[in-house]
């Protein structure tokens, strides 16, 4: 886009224009792709009276080229890792290798029916079993379920497994789950869905779990302690071994939210650290694409004492033959079929391509990039924590509030500078948080450029805060009215109601 | 070996120098207290890595041991359907701007996806005849479980009635989701493949949160719900319908039956069989439940300069704001697959979707007529119409026929014994979609005839 000079001498930009909706573009009678089938008239007469659809089928009518242009235009109004540096903390927006896109396109996986007899899916079961074994190795765990569709789904799975474990021991008093206040919101939400009471652990002054508070909170009612290491502040708990010992002594189980596994893949194994349960997000650490919010996948690893309770079906290997079984002790199925196979195969592909040493290198460079960027940004805004960070770090824009600015204003200016924005307003324990995670796949050059731009933005914020309030200028829209959207929600296209 | 780390040795050195570190391993000091005495773990069993060609060969050789839809003619549905998918679908959803983006929390940089989600919500709400739809859940089974949770929260009641017509696999998932709650699930039986309002009424009481019906049923029959909404609402319970979206092109929609919430598996809308996942959970609702439902919602609004645009809205329902008080724990959903189904629906349009659904109906009825010409084969629930699936009873164990057909390159109907119990062991659930041909149908009927010993 070419900046034009406005009368005031400041550059103004022509915003890319928005795209009409499918229903606004709809042309009655237009035909898209010809589907196999038969004319509906021959069938409609056979549908029993009263069981047929009477209301209109309000789908848009467009040609194939209309549709292709529409979605291509929409893609131009969207930023991804392929187009922009995406330092969105906690989300591990690393490069998704293109070769992995080929795996779910292999017809033997893409077009395989999940209810085929086991004889017809031996290749799939072998690949998924390999995936389970590989994750056991990486996590230091004794069994893995591939069923959970996302991290939060993995949490719910781990929590239901915990419930079943204590039930099987006749221990009915353990009704509470301890969760640090810096945890992802999914942790307490999953605990509540699993029927547990949530007890929040306040963070200590260094942003880590306060050992004394943990000790105080642990009781015979504690079923599970859910931890995130490194924490969402990018700080690895120094007292972790002591915490593990305390939890073990209390008889509770210990859960690791592996959302930040990218920081220590191949370096530390959750099982070796003393965790009983861990979930990882393949769409973070194992480079499967986020897809605009999904599909993800959230495999869960457990120690052997919890393996009997994992969701059904389980993959069983007898010699060279694989089958699916549903053990009596299982919590039951947590979703349809085996798992998000096409996502899991991509994740397995990533692990196989990098190998053990390659994966360890991922962690080392995730640490290097985060610390390098942290060092380049020092002196801009205060950081929570001291010394080396793990894979991400959190800055606070609180001092800019005297200029009337929020972290969100900085984020909009960062968008204008040609990046996606860091995570803002999380973790909740840091006021005006900016959470930055560069990942290992970004080059030094990108980090250098981002640091220069970030410094300029902070300077501008201090000198001319009003300018930041005007951001973003180069995006298709600026500062949508979220309050109005929530007051009287419009969740479907009004134009779709005009189609008869 | 590839690792996708772009640093040159000189750049790594410069970066370490800036940090005052000698080597990369110095960064591991952040883990010092937790590092086991044995040091770094042994990763030799994870292999040494490989190049692209070797990688794809490994997967291709496994894939060769699968009998996918190109190698076996699919006459099996039971929750996963082999439908036509236009070529443009995969090229559009493969665009990196969509594929490699995150949840659209920064609306200015995410208008493309936000608009697509908004359009998806619109298409699904209109298809189901409901006021609104969310931005997707994991799959049909978890969408149903979440809808049941909405009903439990809304009514503060503790009994859930599920029609026997709901896929037994989905019913099991609902039971797992309810594991941590003091909620009882009762099954309302089907009579000749249909739900009798009297069977619902028998189970109704002041503790019933909802009844869930299926359209069509797992057995393929077209269930009807005349008077069911009134019956349930009179008892203070909610009405939920779990419907296959493909069939809604022709069948009465959940909205027309008076449902409060409706769910479904979105796989038939342009998603391949995918070895079982990822699939697409659909959840639709009446407007009055908008603040109760789980999952993301995209809404229409205006920006600072008055331009019409899209944002994620009503986030106060969600886990990142409400934590343990949230409507659900869901965060990642199935956005890319929602986009995929939207592209499919846009390419087919209303006439294309009706044509495809009519093709499924027509082929399934042809297949059924053919199979019934084989002596010893009878239709289960002959009194009730079916859509594109139906159950036949065989004179032999269904497993043996299934194995035989697979050896001949046909994925025949699903033997029901394992899912439904031993009394169903001679029953088979068949399906034909719009892409089956007359000759595939004729050849399959002949294979069945041959196997059963009547030529």
Distance of CA A239 to the CA centre of its chain: 27
Which regions of chain B carry the CATH code 3.90.1150.10? 349-451
Q: What is the pLDDT of residues A17-62, one digit of tens each?
A: 899 999 999 999 999 999 999 999 999 999 999 999 999 999 999 9
Which residue among B31, B52, B359 places its CB closest to the CB of A36? B359
ipTM: 0.97
Window 128-187 of A, Cβ < 8 Å to B: 134, 137-138, 140, 149-153, 155-156, 159-160, 163-164, 184-186
Q: Are B268 and B81 in contact (CB under 8 A)?
A: yes
Q: Which residue of A has its CA nearest to B125?
A: A492
Distance CA A396, CA A345 (A): 39
Contacts of B80 in chain A (CB under 8 A): 113-115, 337
Per-residue pLDDT at A3 exceeds 80: no
What was the pLDDT predicted at A246?
A: 97
Residue B113 CB contacts under 8 Å (≥ 6 apart), including other chains = A74, A78, A292, A293, B98, B101, B104, B335, B339
Over range A487-493, report the average pLDDT.
96
Is it true that domain A362-481 has CATH number 3.90.1150.10? yes
Contacts of A354 in chain B (CB under 8 A): 1-3, 49
Which regions of chain B carry the CATH code 3.40.640.10? 89-342
Which residue among A102, A159, A358 places its CB closest to the CB of B3? A358
Residue A433 host element (H or E): strand A433-436
Measured from the Cβ of residue B196, the count of other Cβ atoms closer than 10 Å reads 14
Which residue among A83, A110, A390 places its CB closest to the CB of B96? A83
Q: Which residue of A has its CA nearest to B222?
A: A51
Chain A contact probe: residue of B20, B50, B278 with most A CBs at under 10 A: B278
- Count residue pairs from A and B with Cβ separation < 8 A: 738
Q: In the predicted model, what is the mean pLDDT of chain A?
A: 95
Q: Quickly count helices (H) and strands (E) in chain A.
A: 16, 14
Inter-chain residue contact B274 with A86, CB threshold 8 Å? no
Which regions of chain A carry the CATH code 3.40.640.10? 100-354
CATH-assigned architecture of domain B349-451? Alpha-Beta Complex (3.90)
Distance CA A457, CA B212 (A): 55
Window 323-382 of A, Cβ < 8 Å to B: 331-343, 345, 349, 351-362, 364-365, 367-369, 371-372, 375-376
Which regions of chain A carry the CATH code 3.90.1150.10? 362-481
Is it true that domain A100-354 has CATH number 3.40.50.2300? no
Q: What is the pLDDT of residues B241-254, one digit of tens each?
A: 999 999 999 999 99
Q: What is the pLDDT of residues B426-455, one digit of tens each?
A: 999 999 999 999 999 999 999 999 999 864
Q: Are A91 and A290 in contact (CB under 8 A)?
A: yes
Which of these, B338, B312, B92, B99, lies nearest to A80 by C-alpha position? B99
Which residue among A53, A68, A443 places its CB closest to the CB of B253? A53
**By percentage, how much of chain B surpasses pLDDT 90?**
95
Distance CA B455, CA B453 (A): 6
Chain A contact probe: residue of B14, B109, B241 with most A CBs at under 10 A: B109
Over range B291-313, report the average pLDDT.
96
What was the pLDDT predicted at A7?
A: 52
Inter-chain residue contact A292 with B101, CB threshold 8 Å? yes
Distance CA A237, CA A86 (A): 26
Inter-chain residue contact A342 with B72, CB threshold 8 Å? no
What was the pLDDT predicted at B319?
A: 87
CATH number assigned to the domain covering B89-342: 3.40.640.10
Q: What angle is formed at CA A131 by the lines to CA A127 and CA A134, rounded to 5 degrees?
A: 135
Over range B88-111, report the average pLDDT.
96
């Amino acid at each position: 886009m070419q900046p034009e000079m406005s009368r005031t001498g400041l550059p103004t930009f022509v915003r890319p224009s928005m795209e009409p909706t499918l229903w606004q573009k709809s042309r009655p009678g237009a035909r898209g792709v010809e589907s196999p089938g038969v004319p509906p008239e021959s069938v409609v007469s056979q549908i029993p009276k009263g069981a047929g659809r009477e209301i209109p089928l309000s789908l848009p009518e467009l040609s194939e080229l209309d549709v292709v242009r529409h979605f291509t235009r929409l893609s131009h109004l969207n930023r991804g890792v392929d187009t922009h540096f995406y330092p969105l903390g906690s989300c591990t927006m690393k490069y998704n290798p293109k070769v992995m896109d080929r795996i779910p396109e292999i017809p033997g996986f893409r077009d395989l029916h999940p209810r085929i007899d086991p004889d017809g899916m031996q290749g799939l079961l072998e690949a998924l079993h390999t995936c389970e074994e590989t994750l056991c190795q990486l996590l230091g765990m004794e069994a893995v379920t591939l069923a959970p569709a996302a991290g939060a789904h993995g949490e719910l799975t781990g929590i239901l497994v915990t419930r079943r474990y204590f039930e099987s021991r006749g221990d009915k008093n353990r009704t509470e789950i301890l969760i640090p206040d810096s945890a992802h919101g999914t942790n307490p939400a999953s605990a509540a869905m699993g029927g547990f009471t949530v007890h929040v652990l306040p963070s200590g002054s260094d942003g880590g779990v306060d050992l004394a508070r943990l000790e105080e909170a642990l009781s015979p009612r504690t079923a599970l302690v859910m931890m995130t290491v490194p924490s969402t502040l990018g700080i690895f708990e120094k007292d972790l071994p002591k915490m593990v010992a305390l939890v073990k002594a209390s008889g509770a189980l210990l859960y690791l939210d592996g959302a930040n596994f990218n920081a220590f893949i191949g370096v530390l194994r959750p099982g070796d650290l003393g965790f009983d349960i861990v979930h990882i997000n393949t769409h973070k650490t194992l480079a499967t694409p986020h897809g605009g919010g999904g599909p993800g996948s959230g495999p869960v690893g457990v120690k052997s004492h919890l393996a009997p309770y994992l969701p059904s079906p389980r993959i069983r290997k007898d010699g060279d033959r694989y089958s699916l079984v549903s053990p009596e002790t299982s919590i039951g199925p947590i979703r349809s079929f085996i798992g998000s196979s096409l996502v899991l195969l991509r994740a397995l592909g990533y692990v196989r391509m990098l190998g053990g040493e390659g994966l360890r290198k991922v962690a080392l460079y995730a640490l290097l990039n985060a610390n390098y960027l942290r060092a380049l940004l020092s002196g801009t805004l205060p950081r929570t924590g001291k010394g080396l960070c793990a894979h991400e770090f959190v800055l606070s824009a609180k001092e800019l509030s005297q200029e009337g600015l929020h972290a969100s204003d900085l984020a909009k200016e960062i968008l204008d500078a040609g990046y996606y924005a860091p995570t803002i307003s999380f973790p909740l324990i840091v006021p005006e948080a900016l959470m930055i995670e560069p990942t290992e796949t970004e080059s030094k050059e990108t980090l250098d450029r981002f640091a220069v731009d970030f410094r300029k933005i902070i300077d501008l914020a201090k000198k001319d805060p009003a300018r930041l309030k005007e951001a973003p200028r180069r995006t298709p829209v600026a500062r949508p009215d979220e309050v109005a959207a929530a007051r009287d929600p419009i969740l479907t296209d009004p134009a779709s109601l005009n189609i008869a | 070996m590839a690792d996708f780390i772009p640093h040159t040795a000189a750049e790594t050195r410069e970066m370490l120098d800036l940090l005052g570190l000698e080597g990369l391993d110095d960064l591991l000091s952040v883990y010092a207290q937790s590092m086991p005495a044995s040091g770094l773990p042994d990763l030799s069993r994870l292999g040494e890595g490989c190049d692209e060609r070797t990688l794809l060969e490994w997967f291709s050789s496994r894939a060769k041991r699968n009998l996918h839809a190109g190698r076996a003619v699919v006459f099996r549905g039971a929750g996963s359907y082999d439908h036509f998918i236009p070529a443009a679908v995969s090229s559009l959803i493969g665009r990196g701007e969509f594929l490699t983006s995150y949840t659209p929390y920064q609306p200015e940089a995410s208008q493309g996806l936000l608009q697509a989600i908004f359009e998806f919500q619109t298409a699904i709400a209109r298809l189901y005849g409901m006021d609104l739809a969310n931005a997707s859940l994991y799959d049909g089974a978890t969408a149903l479980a979440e809808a049941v949770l909405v009903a439990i929260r809304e009514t503060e009641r503790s009994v859930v009635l599920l029609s026997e017509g709901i896929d037994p696999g989905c019913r099991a998932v609902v039971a797992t989701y309810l594991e941590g709650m003091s909620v009882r699930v009762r099954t309302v039986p089907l009579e000749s493949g249909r739900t009798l309002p009297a069977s619902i009424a028998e189970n109704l009481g002041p503790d019933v949160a909802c009844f869930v019906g299926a359209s069509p049923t797992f057995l393929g029959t077209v269930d009807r719900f005349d008077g069911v909404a009134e019956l349930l609402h009179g008892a203070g319970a909610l009405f939920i319908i779990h419907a296959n979206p493909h069939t809604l092109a022709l069948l009465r929609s959940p909205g027309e039956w008076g449902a409060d919430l409706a769910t479904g598996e979105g796989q038939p809308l342009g998603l391949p069989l995918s070895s079982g996942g990822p699939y697409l959970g659909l959840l639709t609702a009446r407007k009055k439940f908008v603040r109760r439902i789980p999952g993301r919602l995209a809404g229409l609004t205006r920006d600072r300069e008055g331009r019409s645009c899209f944002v994620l809205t009503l986030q106060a329902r969600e886990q990142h704001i409400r934590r343990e008080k949230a409507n659900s724990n869901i965060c990642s959903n199935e956005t890319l697959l929602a986009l995929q189904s939207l592209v499919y629906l846009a390419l087919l349009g209303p006439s294309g979707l009706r044509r495809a659904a009519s093709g499924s109906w027509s082929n399934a009825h042809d297949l059924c007529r053919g199979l019934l010409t084989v002596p010893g084969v009878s239709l289960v629930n002959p009194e009730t119409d079916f859509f594109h699936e139906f159950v036949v009873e065989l004179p032999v164990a269904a497993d043996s026929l299934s194995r035989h057909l697979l050896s001949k390159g046909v994925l025949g109907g699903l033997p029901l014994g394992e899912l439904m119990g031993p009394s169903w062991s001679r029953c088979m659930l068949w399906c034909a979609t719009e892409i089956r041909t007359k000759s595939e149908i004729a050849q399959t009927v002949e294979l069945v005839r041959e196997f059963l010993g009547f030529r």
